[in-house]
Amino acid sequence: MKIRDIRPSLRSIPLKKPYAIAGGDFDHVDLTFLEIELENGIIGYGSGSPAAEVVGETAEMTFMNLCSEEVMVLKGRDIRDFEELIRMIRLQFPDRPGTAAALDIALHDAFARWRGVPVTALYGRCSGPLPTSVTIGVMDVRETLAEAEAYLASGFRHLKVKLGRDPEEDIERMIRLQEQFGPRAVLRVDMNQGYDIHSFQTFLRKTLSVPMEVIEQPLPTDSEEDLRALPSDVRHLLAADESLKDVDAAKALSAGDPVFGIFNIKLMKCGGIMAAREIAKVAEPSGIRLFWGCNDESVVSIAAALHVAYSCPNTEFLDLDGSFDLAEDLFRGGFVLRDGLMHLVGNAGLGVDKS
């Protein structure tokens, strides 16, 4: 079954409400969408939403790449060769994971729809359903508590709190969350590289009373070795995010006595489903747990991340709330959220449809 047409598009989508992290403030997201149509009319959908500050690629760059001759030469190729086509695109765009991810996702979706099975069935399901965390941005204590209360009232239990701008305020926010909500909330934190080792050690010392399930990327990417000064029980909770861009980084970070006990895999960092599975396989022998994250994204790529997450035996955590932030989306479906748990819908491909 041959590919008949390839159609990229670019959209700027407002967020439901602006938010802040250690790296900046955001009120909209630019998303690239991709349609791959087969000869029989089946369409596979993909989407790219790279974080330029992390991978050096913007959505506009993704769109231009998807319009290029290097991509259009896929017209006429057989969808049954989708894995070979993904490898070819990764070689053409080695430093453009948003481009690779959009194509990888659309090719997986088209092939699985042609086969009449969910994407996760291509690899075998190993886990799920699992709860996702929802994100509380950088804000003051009062706003943090109010947002946590609203999320808990909506059925979520896992809260990821963005930190990294003001360590003293971060400490107060975490202590107050624990005091007010206790066992009602499972807390995860993400410093977005905002600390140095001394401020991080102070944070840990002053929040000993606060149980934290995951601690994402506290230090800059060139400071990983400083984390070896921490006890092993703390390092077990640390998740590599910005440090983990590709399979080569995964190999380096999993060698010997790993600094991080958790890998945060994002399709928009590594380049799609195939690359994500390669990272997962590297992590497994070292006992590194998987934490599946995202940017602000369409349900298309969130569903793709969920399919691959559930195909990996070392998946333990989900942070796939990126589509919840969008004021609108071009697609719907892919998964169902019940009591904070993410369930795949079971339809062919990614299970998404145009809105």
Residues 199-211 have pLDDT tens digits of 999 999 999 999 9
What residue type is 272 in one-letter code?
Answer: G
Pick left, alpha or beta for residue 92 (phi over 0 → left; psi -120 to 50 → alpha; otherwise beta). Answer: alpha
In whole angstroms, how far apart are CA 24 and each of 21, 51, 117, 163, 283? 6, 12, 40, 12, 30
Per-residue confidence (pLDDT) for residue 24, from 0 to 100: 63
**First-residue to last-residue Cα distance in the chain:** 27
More confident residue, 22 or 333: 333
pLDDT grade for 26, boundaries at 50, 70 and 90: confident
Question: For residue 134, which of 179, 173, 50, 190 has the smallest C-alpha distance?
Answer: 190
Q: Quick check: 33 and 49 in contact, CB under 8 A?
A: no
Q: Quick check: 76 and 10 in contact, CB under 8 A?
A: no
Architecture of domain 3-115: 2-Layer Sandwich (3.30)
Per-residue confidence (pLDDT) for residue 107, from 0 to 100: 98
At a CB cut-off of 8 Å and minimum separation 6, what does 146 contact?
none
Q: Which residue ranges make up each domain of the chain? A: 3-115, 121-354
Per-residue confidence (pLDDT) for residue 22, from 0 to 100: 60
Per-residue confidence (pLDDT) for residue 17, from 0 to 100: 81
Tokens describing residue 56? 């050096």
Angle at 216 between CA 343 and CA 241, to 5 degrees: 80
* Least trusted range by pLDDT, from 112-121, 269-278, 338-347: 338-347
pLDDT grade for 181, boundaries at 50, 70 and 90: very high
In whole angstroms, how far apart are CA 346 and each of 121, 126, 277, 335? 10, 15, 20, 8
pLDDT average, residue stretch 222-235: 94
**pLDDT tens for each residue of 31-47:** 999 999 999 999 999 99
Here the contacts of 166-172 (C-beta below 8 Å, separation 24 or greater) are 167/195, 167/199, 167/202, 167/203, 169/140, 169/141, 170/203, 171/202, 171/203, 171/206, 171/207, 172/141
Query: Does 23 have pLDDT greater than 70?
Result: no
Question: For residue 244, which of 108, 97, 133, 66 has the smallest C-alpha distance?
Answer: 97
pLDDT grade for 21, boundaries at 50, 70 and 90: low
Per-residue confidence (pLDDT) for residue 215, from 0 to 100: 98
Say how far apart CA 232 and CA 346 lie, in whole Å. 40
Estimate the crossing angle of helix 273-283 against helix 97-115, to 10 degrees: 100
What does the buried/exposed string (b/e) look like for 205-231 if buried means 16 or more CB atoms within 10 Å of the residue's CB? ebbeebebbbbbbbbeeeebebbeebe
Question: For residue 273, which of 127, 134, 122 has the smallest C-alpha distance?
Answer: 122
**pLDDT tens for each residue of 60-70:** 999 999 999 99
Query: Does 4 have pLDDT greater than 70?
Result: yes
At a CB cut-off of 8 Å and minimum separation 6, what does 246 contact?
97, 269, 270, 271, 275, 279
pLDDT average, residue stretch 170-178: 98
Query: Is 121-354 CATH 3.40.50.800?
Result: no
Question: For residue 11, which of 27, 33, 26 has the smallest C-alpha distance?
Answer: 33
Neighbour count for residue 256 (Cβ, 10 Å) = 8
